[in-house]
């Protein structure tokens, strides 16, 4: 925005909206190619647009961070730090000016606690002379409610830039002028930052470091880290102690966290195993519950059947009671008739006969039983006699066998030379009493063998009990195996169901992938503005759908194409905006030219570039285009062609002397070409 507004008060200046300082305006006066230019911020942001060479970078290098840093060295002012770019060049423009005075300034604003606006204006004045390489600089700070362009100006009403003393008079009572950069930096720090000299210097170094062009391409991490570290305030010792203690506690917490994580992992492993165990136990308990439910249902059915049977039995009992009553009545009648018949004298002989028959039958039954007992006793006697004969026969056979064995033993003893040791037993073969004693001893051995035989069934029973226990354990194991087979069957059924569901899900995924691929194919075929290879994207999407891992290729390609299209659109918009600006300038020039032509003004044709400086205006004569006119018969297109040919040849504005000589522009000599 042009600052021709340095001449009159301005009520339309930007106002602050926050309680913290924010930039509102910055301006340049007689610096670079600007005579008096002002730029406004919006919400603390500034956007500069234009082609290369329009001065965007110069605006920033001549304002920020120069107005904070107050150092004129090229390494601090220029973004690229080129030492060949001196501050004097920004004033003198490489010899275009002999001497020049300029200003760079920036305005900050904020709201106080009562909502009133406060302002701080920072500025630097510069003066350069062609004969001197150094630039003279002075600085000023204006705070409170005074604003540049409303309460004070950097130029006079005749647009003459104020010098140092004239600026001091203009800021009398509202601001202060500083002669040195150090005092100025202290004033800026006091009003805006309050960091102190060391931290303020570190902040300036950081800003210079971050302002480097293309910082992201060649970053210096060490220098940037050092600059950021120096910009931080020193930490107090108690805070460092707290941080050290916190770090120690953090290490302890880390160890506890690792232990807790290990415990959590162990608990989760236990939970997995216990979940399996709990599932098995639950199924077992559920099996017992189902069995109990089945037994309960069976007991309920049996109870219902028993109740039904009880009802039938009670009904039958009632019917039997009725029949019994009838029978008792009939029995009572029969007994009465029987008693009457017994009391009859004619019936006594019959009674005696009946009693005799009954006694005879009783005697016959007793005789039959006695005969049966006698028969059983005879059979038992025969069996005992036979057993006795068998025992005698066994004894004789055993005695004969013993005699044979004894003889063989004696013969073996004689052959072995043990006749004396076994001589005491020789008499057993001949002495019946000794043989009987020996037989008695052998009988005791036989009794011991019998006892052993009697103990054998007990051991067999014990083994049988153990076998039954093992059979019970085997039966329990069979039941457990059956239960496991049942669970295995259930698990296999669940696995088959899961496999079926997996197959259905795979089929659904394949169908959905096919639909997804077709939808993307249709979408890619319908694209008009975005430029991408639809076939390649379609093939990549088909490969991606097989695994469905990683970034979606179609979305990535679409986003890349969208980014490229947005970039092309931005470039096209930028080119169109530049073209519109050029056309607007051309339109304004043409409109100005038209208005001049309508008012009857004659516009001088543009001199050719090869002519050089024009020294003709102080000489007698006039240019050719003012002395001649077109023939009335020439058409407008023919007139334009003639004029263009004269302009290209340099004859259109050639100077004609009073004597009619056609002169060239720079040296004034005659036209001889």
Report yes or no: 429 and 407 within 8 Å, Cβ to Cβ: yes
How sure is the predictor about 672, in pLDDT bands with cuts at 50, 70 and 90? very low
pLDDT in tens, 397-427: 766 666 666 666 566 656 555 555 445 444 4
The CA distance from 207 to 66, in Å, is 10
Query: How do residues 252-261 score in pLDDT, each as one tens digit?
Result: 888 889 888 8
Banded pLDDT at 454 (limits 50, 70, 90): low
pLDDT of residue 613: 54
Q: pLDDT averaged over the chain?
A: 78
Cβ-count burial 353-374 (b if 16+ within 10 Å, e if not): eeeeeeeeeeeeeeeeeeeeee
Give the residue among 81, 86, 171, 85 at the shortest CA–CA distance from 126.
86
Strand order in the sheet with 34-40: 34-40, 22-31, 99-111, 117-129, 136-144, 175-178
Name which of 557, 561, 560, 555 is nearest 536 in CA terms: 557
- Which two three-digit tokens encode residue 302? 């049996």
**Distance of alpha carbon 94 from alpha carbon 166, whole angstroms:** 27
- Give the confidence band of 436 by pLDDT, cuts at 50, 70, 90: low
pTM score of the predicted model: 0.38
CA–CA distance, 592 with 461 (Å, rounded to integer): 136
Q: What's the pLDDT at 348?
A: 62
DSSP letter at 115 equals S
pLDDT score of 209 more than 50: yes
pLDDT for 432 equals: 54
Query: What pLDDT is attached to residue 41?
Result: 94
> According to the model, what pLDDT value does residue 127 have?
93
pLDDT in tens, 321-377: 787 777 778 777 777 776 776 666 655 655 666 676 676 677 667 667 766 766 776
Residues contacting 661, CB < 8 A, separation 6+: 670, 671
Residue range 592-626, pLDDT digits in tens: 878 877 777 766 777 776 665 555 556 778 888 88
Per residue in 491-518, pLDDT (tens digit) is: 888 888 888 888 887 777 777 777 877 8
């Amino acid at each position: 925005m042009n600052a021709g507004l340095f001449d009159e008060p301005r009520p339309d200046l930007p106002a602050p909206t926050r309680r913290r300082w924010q930039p509102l305006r910055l301006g340049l006066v007689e610096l670079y190619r600007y005579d008096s230019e002002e730029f406004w911020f919006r919400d603390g942001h500034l956007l500069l647009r234009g082609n290369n060479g329009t001065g965007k970078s110069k605006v920033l290098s001549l304002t920020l961070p120069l107005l904070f840093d107050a150092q004129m060295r090229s390494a601090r002012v220029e973004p690229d730090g080129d030492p060949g770019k001196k501050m004097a060049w920004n004033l003198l423009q490489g010899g275009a000016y002999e001497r020049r005075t300029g200003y760079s300034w920036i305005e900050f604003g904020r709201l106080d606690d009562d909502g009133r606006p406060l302002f701080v204006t920072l500025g630097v004045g510069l003066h350069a002379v062609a004969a001197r390489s150094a630039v003279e600089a002075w600085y000023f700070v204006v705070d409170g409610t005074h604003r540049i362009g409303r309460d004070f100006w950097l130029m006079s009403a005749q647009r003459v830039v104020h010098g140092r003393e004239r600026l001091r008079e203009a800021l009398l009572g509202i601001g202060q002028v500083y002669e040195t950069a150090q005092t100025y930096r202290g004033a800026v720090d006091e009003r805006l930052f309050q960091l102190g000299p060391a931290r303020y210097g570190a902040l300036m170094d950081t800003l210079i470091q971050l302002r480097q062009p293309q910082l992201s391409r060649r970053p210096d991490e060490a220098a940037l880290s050092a600059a950021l570290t120096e910009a931080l305030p020193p930490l107090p010792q108690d805070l460092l102690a707290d941080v050290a203690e916190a770090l120690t506690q953090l290490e302890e917490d880390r160890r506890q966290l690792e232990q807790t994580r290990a415990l959590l992992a162990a608990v989760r492993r236990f939970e997995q195993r216990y979940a399996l165990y709990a599932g098995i136990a639950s199924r077992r308990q559920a099996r017992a519950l189902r069995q109990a439910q089945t037994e309960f249902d069976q007991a309920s059915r049996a109870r219902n059947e028993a109740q039904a049977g009880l009802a039938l039995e009670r009904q039958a009992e009632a019917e039997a009671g009725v029949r019994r009553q009838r029978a008792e009545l009939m029995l009572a009648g029969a007994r009465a008739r029987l008693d009457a018949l017994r009391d009859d004298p004619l019936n006594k002989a019959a009674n005696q006969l009946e009693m005799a028959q009954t006694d005879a039958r009783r005697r016959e039954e007793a005789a039959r039983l006695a005969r049966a007992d006698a028969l059983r006793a005879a059979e038992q006697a025969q069996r005992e006699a036979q057993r006795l004969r068998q025992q005698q026969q066994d004894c004789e056979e055993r005695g004969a066998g013993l005699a044979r064995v004894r003889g063989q033993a004696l013969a073996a003893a004689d052959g072995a030379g043990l006749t004396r040791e076994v001589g005491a037993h020789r008499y057993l073969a001949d002495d019946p009493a000794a043989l009987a004693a020996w037989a008695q001893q052998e009988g005791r051995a036989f009794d011991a063998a019998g006892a052993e035989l009697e103990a054998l069934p007990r051991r067999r029973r014990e083994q049988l009990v153990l076998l039954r226990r093992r059979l019970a354990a085997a039966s329990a194991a069979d039941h457990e195996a059956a239960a496991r087979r049942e669970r295995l069957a259930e698990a296999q059924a669940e696995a088959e169901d899961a496999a079926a569901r997996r197959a259905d899900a795979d089929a659904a995924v394949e169908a959905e992938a096919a639909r997804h691929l077709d939808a993307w194919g249709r979408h890619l075929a319908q694209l008009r503005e975005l430029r991408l290879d639809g076939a390649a994207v379609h093939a990549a999407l088909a490969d991606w759908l097989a695994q469905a891992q990683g970034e979606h290729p179609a979305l990535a390609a679409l986003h890349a194409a969208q980014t490229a299209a947005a970039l092309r659109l931005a470039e096209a918009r930028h080119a169109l905006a530049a073209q519109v600006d050029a056309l607007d300038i051309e339109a304004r020039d043409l409109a100005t030219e038209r208005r001049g032509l309508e008012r009857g003004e004659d516009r001088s044709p543009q001199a050719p570039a090869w002519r050089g400086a024009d020294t003709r205006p102080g000489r007698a004569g006039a240019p050719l285009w003012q002395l001649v006119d077109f023939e009335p018969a020439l058409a407008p297109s023919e007139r334009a062609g003639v004029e263009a040919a004269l302009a290209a040849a340099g004859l259109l504005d050639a100077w004609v002397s009073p004597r009619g000589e056609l002169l060239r522009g720079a040296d004034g000599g005659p036209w001889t070409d």
